[in-house]
Amino acid sequence: MTRAVCPGSFDPVTHGHLDVIERTARIVDAVVVAVGTNISKNALFRPDERVEMLAEECAQWSNVEVTLFEGLLVDFCAANDIDIISKGLRAADLGYELQMAQMNRQLTGVDTLFLPTAPQWAFVSSSLVREVATLGGDVTSFLPGRIAARTMERVASRHTGATSDM
């Protein structure tokens, strides 16, 4: 049985992420969506919230599971009998992602499958979505409905909290 991991922070999960997960699920027998637990200062959602949202969105694919992970991705792969790392690839990411894929292969022999990002999502990233939402922009076309609503609620609650602290 071929197992792949789709790793990321997914903060928040975008249509582009879901496109890569769905396409990976059509190629392999099982997909593990691995949500990194490292929280950046700019994180919008806690790791457990991201797992919850992803699990809801990925429920439509019977061969996809969602879990947290920390540490080296290749160690996670070895511990979970995962053969392939699957990643969406935007043009700007090529150099860094290729270097990471080669390092992962050298460390453990795990291969990386790059799926070109669907053109309609090629410019979308979670960090850009967070920035636009924080500045009051409409991000609903980049996120599934429930996630867009939660994102806007979270941004609004942070703004409310920020103004009450002044």
Strand segments, DSSP code E, in 74-160 are: 84-89, 111-116
Q: Is 7 helix (H, G, I), strand (E, B) or coil?
A: strand
Token readout for 124 is: 């979308």
Catalytic residue among 3, 15, 23, 90: 90
| Token reading at 149 | 């609503």
Q: Which residue of the set 9, 17, 50, 87 is catalytic?
A: 17
- Give the C-alpha separation, 22 to 63, whole Å: 10
* Rounded to 5°, angle at Cα 81 from 75 and 82: 75
Q: Which of 9, 86, 126, 130 is catalytic?
A: 126
Which residues in 104-158 belong to E strands, given as ranges? 111-116
- Respond yes or no: is residue 90 known to be catalytic: yes
Among candidate residues 143, 163, 165, the one with its CA nearest the CA of residue 45: 143
Catalytic residue check, 50: no
Rounded to the nearest 10 degrees, what angle do helices 126-134 and 145-164 cross at?
A: 50
Catalytic residue set: 17, 41, 90, 126
